A = this chain, B = another copy of it.
Amino acid sequence: MKFGGTSMAGMERIRNVALRVKHEVGLGNEVAVVVSAMAGETDRLVGFCKEASPLYDEAEYDVVVASGEQVTSGLLAMTLKAIGVDARSWLGWQLPIRTVEAHSKARIDDIETQALLQAMAAGQVAVIPGFQGQMADGRVSTLGRGGSDTSAVAIAAAVKAERCDIYTDVDGVYTTDPRIVSRARKLNKVTYEEMLELASVGSKVLQTRSVALAMKEKVRVQVLSSFEQPGNDPEPGTMIVSEEEIEESDMERQLITGIAHDKNEAKIIVTRVPDKPGAVASIFLPLAEASINVDMIIQNDSKDNAETDVTFTVPRADLARSVDILEARKESIGFRRIITDAEVAKISVVGVGMRSHAGVAALMFKTLADRGINIEAISTSEIKVSVLIDEDETELAVRVLHTAYGLDGDQPAG
């Protein structure tokens, strides 16, 4: 069971979490709980570090910010004991959760589970602070912001958990954003791959990194609501599972799982690039070296076989930097000018059942064209077709596609 900062914000909420854990224990389950810091606490601690120095030491940053989860894990363990549930906290360095690479953005390498499994088998609930671990030199590490989801999945994998329940402020994964489409349906099951596509294009229910880890380790993750009354059987959320499990259980599953939208990209057009070997590479190599993540790429047909326009998208936050990098290489690349557009949105149709891209794409293009929505770029992956459109048309596009692929539920989402 994993609870985020909103669920841990204050003793009244921590008491609710404890009741939820008690219910799960009462069902005969061995339970490990991973907790975030109280909402706002990590920001407060990061604020101190930034005030100390803009170039703060990252090993000491880890010492400071890891304290937030230490506090909530101790508080949850004592609250559980107070309501008659045996429990203890296991700090990152006590298990230990061994991490590698860099302080403040460490990666979990390995989790020692012997003592943990013994305690759990003896009926003791393990309360584990998320987000933290220990480096090989014995120092405290943290996984980077939002790392608690990753901690939960890693621990679930290490103890070979039946499932990893992640309590969030939504009650599951939907066919699309319910704020846009009132008839969006909650999905009972979704595959890791679909969840990755849905997460990476804007349905920010779980950290992408935690889903990738779940897929690698085959951890069955359930997303469910932390807002329900504790103590009863919780309303089932959405299970994130392997494709095999879905195929076995859900024969009549629809081809398309959901429609995602993402307003975090910006479009760059580099005009009249010489149409010769190496020219396009000379655009993308310096961007890659600057760790700028280029997403969609379209190279227009060359009009006179001598020059071509190259269109691509980058994260909106990297737009200015991308332009600077390219302008500095204008002569060596040999382009005419750069045209940018930050007011674009990427709309994606996602589904592992998608066998024919052509059919899915054709319906997408026709549906959008019928509403007069112009497509500025297209990209596809194994389980997704994405188009770039004008940002103002995001909501309209999502709505008409949700209907066109037969995803609308019988009644508005609750």
> A55-B82, A79-B53, A140-B91 are known contacts. Are A64 and B74 too (CB-CB below 8 A)?
yes
State in angstroms the CA–CA spacing of A154 and B14 once bound together.
Answer: 37
Provide the residues of chain B in CB contact with A252, threshold 8 Å: none
Q: How many residues of A contact B (CB 8 A)?
A: 39
Are B70 and A14 in contact, CB atoms less than 8 angstroms apart?
no
Are A64 and B71 in contact, CB atoms less than 8 angstroms apart?
yes
> A45-B71, A48-B71, A52-B14 are known contacts. Are A78 and B57 too (CB-CB below 8 A)?
yes
Are B81 and A57 in contact, CB atoms less than 8 angstroms apart?
yes
Q: Could you give, for residues 38-78 of chain A, a 1 whenever the CB lies within 8 Å of some chain B CB and a 0 otherwise?
A: 00000001001101110111011111101110110111011
Are A60 and B48 in contact, CB atoms less than 8 angstroms apart?
no
Residue A312 CB within 8 A of the other chain: no
Residue A227 CB within 8 A of the other chain: no
Residue A365 CB within 8 A of the other chain: no
> A60-B81, A60-B88 are known contacts. Are A75 and B93 too (CB-CB below 8 A)?
no
State in angstroms the CA–CA spacing of A289 and B140 once bound together.
Answer: 44
Provide the residues of chain B in CB contact with A70, threshold 8 Å: 63-64, 66-67, 70
> Which of A52, A68, A82, A93 has the largest number of chain B CB atoms within 10 A?
A52
Set B62, B73, B82: member contacting A63, Cβ < 8 A: B73
Tell me the dominant secondary structure on chain A's binding face: helix
CB distance from A320 to the nearest CB of B (A): 28
A364-397 interface (Cβ within 8 A of B) = none
Provide the residues of chain B in CB contact with A52, threshold 8 Å: 11, 14-15, 75, 78-79, 82
> Which of A14, A45, A66, A79 has the largest number of chain B CB atoms within 10 A?
A79
State in angstroms the CA–CA spacing of A45 and B78 once bound together.
Answer: 13
Task: Kindly report how many copies of this chain are found in the complex they form together.
Answer: 2
Among residues of B, the one whose C-beta sits closest to the C-beta of A44 is B71
Provide the residues of chain B in CB contact with A139, threshold 8 Å: 94
Are B82 and A75 in contact, CB atoms less than 8 angstroms apart?
no
Residue A28 CB within 8 A of the other chain: no
CB distance from A163 to the nearest CB of B (A): 27
Are B74 and A61 in contact, CB atoms less than 8 angstroms apart?
yes
Provide the residues of chain B in CB contact with A57, threshold 8 Å: 77-78, 81-82
> A11-B48, A49-B75, A75-B48 are known contacts. Are A82 and B56 too (CB-CB below 8 A)?
yes
Set B45, B53, B78, B94: member contacting A138, Cβ < 8 A: B94
CB distance from A15 to the nearest CB of B (A): 8
Set B61, B78, B88: member contacting A49, Cβ < 8 A: B78
Residue A89 CB within 8 A of the other chain: yes
> A67-B70, A67-B71, A70-B67 are known contacts. Are A61 and B78 too (CB-CB below 8 A)?
yes
State in angstroms the CA–CA spacing of A197 and B61 once bound together.
Answer: 42
Provide the residues of chain B in CB contact with A73, threshold 8 Å: 63
Can you list the 3 inter-chain pairs with the closest CB atoms, starting with the nearest?
Answer: A63-B74, A53-B82, A64-B74
4 further contact pairs, Cβ within 8 A, besides A63-B73, A70-B70, A93-B93: A11-B51, A11-B52, A60-B81, A91-B140
Return 21 A-B CB contacts under 8 Å, by A number: A11-B48, A15-B52, A45-B71, A48-B75, A49-B75, A49-B78, A52-B78, A52-B82, A53-B79, A53-B82, A57-B77, A57-B78, A57-B81, A59-B88, A61-B78, A62-B74, A63-B77, A64-B70, A67-B71, A91-B140, A94-B138
